[in-house]
């Protein structure tokens, strides 16, 4: 099964020459992108480590511990179905060969990713110290203007235990599995252009969406609106959330974030920031990536991204515009990185080597 869902342009070439041409095209398209990406990540990481050394060290330790516990399941959730598509006759052999051949490079990429996420969390925690929360009223008003009413009311118009369960499972659990699983998958085949493009776009999303824009548009989100701005604008939303037991994760986690914020101590997943939505941004980037690999998997990826967008409003973590802006910014980032996997040579060489993560390449 062709992951690209495209016809092979060079089917008439001998197999060895065809694969050699594909590898040469890949190398030319990749160029010095890995070096530039690593340098960019190190600058971002160094900033957090130098400005907040103790907090950053604590976050690295926390995330490394989590990596060893939750990393393998996330990897298998993505790798097993991928192997069944790529090598249906011998999926386990494909996984074993991939790890044996590309494991060292993947370990390096994943390590940098963990250091990056630790830095992201440290920056996020310190956003209100850099730019105090100030955008909430504007984003709440814009959302109501665009939708004719508070967007959360639309999200809860057909509320039920089933809907609450779907949001809880996707937003609080599957999102993390998809994110980390796809990063691990791409890390394993980072010498292929399309996977390197995804990793590059991922780093830019974390930095631009999760840090730069989040700082510029410092905000807390609907669930914390009344706590920080006063009044009872979202009091009814909190009461509605309490009506379904599956929303308990929202209420408990919001209490956790608020407690960590007041204690001013580094903790796993800490930091309060609404605009733009990183949840929606990551799900959107994953949808673009999956769609580049396989049409049907891409459709599933976009369906998941829409559910995450809905969940971001349903739970009160975000204003509707947080998700819209996140999707727009990610679309721009994905387009701006197109040259990594779809350069001028793509038209003259087969795309199979770029899309099939062959361990032999």
pLDDT at 76: 84
In 131-188, alpha helices (H): 136-147, 151-155, 161-169, 175-188
Contact 346, 184 (CB under 8 A): no
Contact 196, 86 (CB under 8 A): no
pLDDT at 90: 85
Say yes or no to pLDDT of 350 above 80. no
Neighbours of 32 (CB within 10 A): 8
* Model confidence band, residue 340 (pLDDT cutoffs 50, 70, 90): confident
Say yes or no to pLDDT of 352 above 90. no
Nearest-CA neighbor of 308 among 152, 115, 175? 175
Contact 186, 195 (CB under 8 A): yes
* Model confidence band, residue 3 (pLDDT cutoffs 50, 70, 90): very low
Nearest-CA neighbor of 183 among 109, 269, 100, 284? 109
pLDDT at 86: 81
**Rounded average pLDDT over 196-223:** 95
Give the C-alpha separation, 122 to 53, whole Å: 10
Give buried/exposed letters for 252-283 (b at 16+ CB in 10 A, else e).
Answer: eebeebbebbeeeebbeebbbbbbbbbbbbbb
Say yes or no to pLDDT of 361 above 50. no
Neighbours of 52 (CB within 10 A): 19
Look at 51-60, 94-103, 144-153 and tell me which has the smallest mean pLDDT.
94-103
**Residue-by-residue DSSP string for 323-335:** HHHHHHHHHHHHH
Give the C-alpha separation, 254 to 244, whole Å: 16
The overall average pLDDT reported for the chain is 84
pLDDT at 29: 56
pLDDT at 263: 83
**Rounded average pLDDT over 193-208:** 94
Helix, strand, coil shares of the chain, percent, nearest 5, are 75, 0, 25
pLDDT tens-digit readout, 104-132: 888 899 899 999 999 999 999 999 999 99
Contact 190, 34 (CB under 8 A): yes
Decide which of 53 and 29 is more confident.
Answer: 53
The two structure tokens encoding residue 335? 């387009």
* Model confidence band, residue 140 (pLDDT cutoffs 50, 70, 90): very high
Say yes or no to pLDDT of 41 above 90. yes
Look at 225-239, 256-270, 306-320 and tell me which has the smallest mean pLDDT.
256-270
Phi, psi dihedral angles at 351 (to 5 degrees): -90, 0
The two structure tokens encoding residue 67? 């990596």
pLDDT at 5: 43
Give the length of the chain. 361
How many helices (H) does the chain have, and how many strands (E)?
19, 0
Nearest-CA neighbor of 214 among 82, 281, 282, 124? 124
Say yes or no to pLDDT of 360 above 80. no
* Model confidence band, residue 357 (pLDDT cutoffs 50, 70, 90): low
* Model confidence band, residue 74 (pLDDT cutoffs 50, 70, 90): confident
Say yes or no to pLDDT of 78 above 90. no
pLDDT at 313: 95
pLDDT at 30: 61
Say yes or no to pLDDT of 85 above 70. yes
Decide which of 181 and 206 is more confident.
Answer: 206
**Rounded average pLDDT over 234-244:** 92
Contact 185, 79 (CB under 8 A): yes
Give the C-alpha separation, 53 to 59, whole Å: 10
**Rounded average pLDDT over 226-250:** 91
- The dihedral region occupied by 277, where left means phi > 0, alpha psi between -120 and 50, and beta the remainder, is beta
Share of the chain above pLDDT 90, in %: 51
């Amino acid at each position: 099964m062709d992951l690209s869902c495209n016809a092979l342009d060079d089917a008439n070439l001998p197999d060895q020459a065809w694969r050699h041409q594909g590898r040469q095209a890949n190398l030319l398209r990749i160029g010095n992108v890995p070096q530039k990406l690593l340098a960019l990540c190190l600058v971002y990481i160094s900033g957090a480590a130098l400005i907040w050394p103790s907090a950053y060290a604590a976050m690295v330790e926390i995330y490394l511990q989590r990596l060893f516990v939750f990393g393998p399941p996330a990897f298998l959730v993505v790798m097993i179905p991928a192997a069944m598509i790529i090598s249906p006759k011998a999926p386990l052999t494909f996984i074993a060969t991939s790890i044996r051949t590309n494991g060292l490079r993947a370990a390096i990429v994943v390590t940098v990713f963990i250091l990056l996420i630790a830095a992201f969390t440290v920056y996020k925690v310190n956003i209100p110290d850099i730019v105090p929360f100030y955008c909430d009223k504007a984003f709440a008003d814009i959302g109501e203007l665009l939708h004719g009413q508070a967007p959360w009311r639309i999200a809860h118009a057909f509320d039920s235990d089933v809907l609450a369960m779907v949001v809880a499972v996707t937003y609080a659990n599957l999102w993390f599995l998809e994110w980390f699983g796809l990063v691990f998958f791409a890390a394993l085949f980072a010498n292929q252009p399309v996977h390197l493009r995804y990793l590059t776009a991922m780093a830019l999303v974390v930095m631009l969406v999760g840090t730069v824009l989040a700082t510029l548009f410092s905000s807390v989100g609907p669930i914390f609106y009344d706590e920080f701005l006063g009044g009872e604008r979202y009091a009814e939303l909190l009461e509605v959330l309490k009506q379904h037991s599956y929303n308990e994760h929202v209420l408990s986690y919001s209490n956790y974030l608020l407690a960590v914020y007041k204690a001013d101590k580094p903790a796993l997943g800490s930091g309060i920031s609404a605009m733009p939505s990183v949840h929606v941004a990551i799900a959107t980037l994953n949808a673009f990536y999956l769609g580049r690999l396989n049409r049907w998997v891409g459709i599933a990826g976009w369906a998941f991204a829409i559910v995450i967008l809905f969940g971001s409003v349903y739970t009160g973590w975000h204003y509707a515009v947080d998700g819209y802006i996140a999707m727009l910014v990610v679309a721009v980032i994905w387009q701006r990185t197109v040259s990594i996997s779809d350069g001028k040579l793509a038209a003259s060489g087969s795309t199979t080597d770029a899309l099939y993560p062959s361990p032999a390449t």
